[in-house]
Amino acid sequence: MKATLTIKKRTYQVDLSKPLDLSIPMTGDISNVNAWYVDHPRIEPHVEHGFTGSVKQGASTNFNDIWFNPHAHGTHTECYGHITREVYSVNEKLKNYFFLAEVITIAPGKLGDDFVISKHQLSNAMKGAKPNALVVRTLPNTKEKFSKQYSNSNPPYFMEDAMAFLVNSGIDHLLVDLPSVDKERDGGALRCHRTFWNMNGDIRKEATITEFIFVPNEVADGMYLLNLQVAPFVNDASPSRPVLFKITEV
DSSP string, 46-91: -EETTEE--GGGT-SS--EEEE--TTTSS-EEE-GGGG-SS---HH
Distance separating alpha carbons of residues 88 and 204, to the nearest angstrom: 13
Q: What is the mean pLDDT of residues 204-217?
A: 98
| Span 160-189, average pLDDT | 98
Is 60 in contact with 47 (CB distance < 8 Å)? no
The CA distance from 246 to 12, in Å, is: 10
Q: What is the pLDDT of residue 157?
A: 98
CATH of domain 2-34+70-249: 3.50.30.50
182-188-192-197 Cα dihedral, nearest 10 degrees: 130
Q: Look at residue 6 and tell me whether its pLDDT is greater than 90.
A: no
Q: For 139-162, what is each residue's pLDDT tens digit?
A: 999 999 999 999 999 999 999 999
| pLDDT greater than 80 at residue 45 | yes
User: Given pLDDT bands bounded at 50, 70 and 90, which one contains residue 4?
Assistant: confident
- How confident is the model over 221-246, as a mean pLDDT? 97
Distance CA 208, CA 204 (A): 9
Cβ contacts of 6 within 8 Å, gap of 6 or more: 12
The per-residue pLDDT for range 98-155, each reduced to its tens digit, is 999 999 999 999 999 999 999 999 999 999 998 999 999 999 999 999 999 999 999 9
At 244, the pLDDT band (50, 70, 90 cuts) reads very high
pLDDT band at 9 (very low <50, low <70, confident <90, very high): confident
Residue 63: pLDDT band with limits 50, 70, 90: very high
- Give the mean pLDDT of 42-70: 97
pTM of the model: 0.96
Is it the case that residue 224 has pLDDT exceeding 80?
A: yes
Q: Which residues contact 17 (CB under 8 A, 6 or more apart)?
A: 1, 2
> What residue ranges in the chain does DSSP mark as E strands?
2-7, 10-15, 20-21, 42-45, 47-48, 51-52, 64-67, 76-78, 98-106, 109-111, 114-117, 133-138, 157-158, 173-176, 208-211, 222-230, 237-249
The chain-wide mean pLDDT, for the chain, equals 96
What distance in Å separates the CA atoms of residue 203 and residue 65, rounded to the nearest whole number?
A: 36
| Structural Rg of the chain based on CA atoms | 19
